[in-house]
Structure 1
Amino acid sequence: MKNKKAILYIMLLILGAALYIVGIYMNEQMRNGLPLFFMTLGLAIFFNSIERIRKLARGKNPDIRREMEIEAKDERNQYITTKAKAFAFDVMGYVFSAVFLIYALMKVDFMIFFVLAVSLIGIYITYTIYKNKLTQNT
Structure 2
Amino acid sequence: MSELKTDVIHRGDCIEVLRSLPDASVDMVFADPPYNLQLGGDLLRPDNSKVDAVDDDWDKFDSFAAYDAFTRDWLKECRRVLKPEGSIWVIGSYHNVFRLGTAIQDLGFWVLNDIIWRKSNPMPNFKGTR
TM bracket (short chain): under 0.3
Select the structure of larger CA radius of gyration. Answer: 1
Superposition TM-score, scaled by structure 2 size: 0.26
Superposition TM-score, scaled by structure 1 size: 0.25
Structure (1/2) with the larger strand percentage = 2
